[in-house]
Chain A
Amino acid sequence: MRVLERLDTLGFSRFKGLIDIIMPKKERRQSKIIISYIRIHTQLNNAFNMLSKDRCRHAFEYLSLAKKFIRQLKFEEEKLYLNRILKILNELLKNKERIIAGIRKEEASDPFHIKTFLLLAQNICILRILKINKD
């Protein structure tokens, strides 16, 4: 960065300053958090839509993806919420075979209340998005 600033013939530092004015650091961080929640919500939604006899195994692939993604996130202020979602995902993944067997036996049975738990996790994402967005 320093090298670039010394060779600042194109006004790089001013441009950087301009970015800070257009979108301050706090808002940039909030955008990143919102995008992360949207990504988690999308994975959860995909999983929810696959809770059918034929596709329920794929649902757990989406849940694993969501879990992996959450673990990579480093937003300290969101830790409480992300951990709550992680806890839900861990519980569901731990009971994967039982849930799949339940769905294959009867699709509408909602084994392990998986739909309710996914809905809870999705609601956490939406609530955070709404709240962060209004700040």
Chain B
Amino acid sequence: MAKVNFSKMFFDKGRLVEPDAIQNTKPRIRLPRIFFDRENFEAYETIFSNVMIIDAHTHIGRDRDGHGVDEHNFIRQMKMSHINKAVVFPLNEPNDINFSKSNDRVHNFYKNFPKYIIPFFRLNPGKKWKKECQKRLLQGFMGIKLHPRSQDFGIASRQVMKIYEKAEKNRLPVLIHTGFGLDNIAHDIKKVVDTFPKLRLILGHSAFVDFEATIKVAGKRDNVLFDTSTLRVFSLMNLLNSLDHTKIVFGSDVPYYDFDLALEMLVDTAIICNKNPNQIRAILGGNIMKWFK
């Protein structure tokens, strides 16, 4: 595919398509629902034709803070936003300390919608996680979600290192929260990636709380991906400009964020950062798909 400088096309008014022509021409492919500027449809068409969009960071259930989304609405929103697949794991559910019920719910969701869901189970490293982990491995879950702030543990604490060991042994990716509520995490992440070089790690929210240092210790590791969920636009620009596109994966953080807005933000920011359509398509799905073939 020829390399197109989209940002120039967008910003150089001399090269823009006539407004009347835009209004009279309909896009040939269906684009995600709202937020997308009609005048940019040519660029969007190139990016979105036959693209596999995989959202690497979503939840179902009900969080103890009251937020949540059920299976029906989740699938409805996915379809409206043209998301092909989503990595799904439980929210921080009340009255479910070791996430047994919540993981069951994700499993049932997966059984009902296997084409749409990549199921991850959530563990609480402080509460009898081994039995839960074994059960979910046998059920065919495809990854583990860990949340250091909600379950109150250190990223490289002794108990969690055992979970990483198990995950590495079973070739299960681990998605770990590295966003709000944490700081100075680069040292811990280095310890994890040094100890488990084959562990597949997804840094939820791209470690924006300690971004520069984390990039230094993990930015070039083969098995570490950075997800784009709930980043500021400027943090996303920083991420796209600092890291190779093969290390970045699309994430939304539904239900705290919208599929639409997350997608729009990523695609438009990537265009501004001069990423070409193939690179954007890789970020949208190609990069993470390699782990689930």
Contact = CB atoms under 8 A, between A and B. Distances in A.
Contacts of A116: 180, 230, 253, 256-257
Interface stretch (B73-81, B99-107, B161-169, B260-268): B260-268
Nearest to A128: B35
B10 interface: yes
Given A120-B230, A123-B261, A110 B180 contact: yes
Interface residues of B, number: 26
B181 A127 contact: no
Contacts of B233: 123, 126-127, 130
Interface string B1-15: 000000000110000
Contacts of B39: 135
Interface of B: 10-11, 34-35, 37, 39, 63, 65-67, 149, 180-181, 230, 232-234, 253, 256-258, 261, 264-265, 268, 272
Contacts, number: 56
A80 interface: yes
Contacts of A119: 230, 232
Interface of A: 80, 84, 95, 108-113, 115-117, 119-120, 122-124, 126-127, 130-131, 134-135
Nearest to B65: A112
Nearest to B255: A113
A80 to B, nearest CB: 6
Nearest to B234: A126
A109 B256 CA distance: 15
A109 B147 CA distance: 12
Contacts of B272: 130
B256 A108 contact: no
Contacts of A122: 232
A127 B265 contact: yes
A68 B194 CA distance: 51
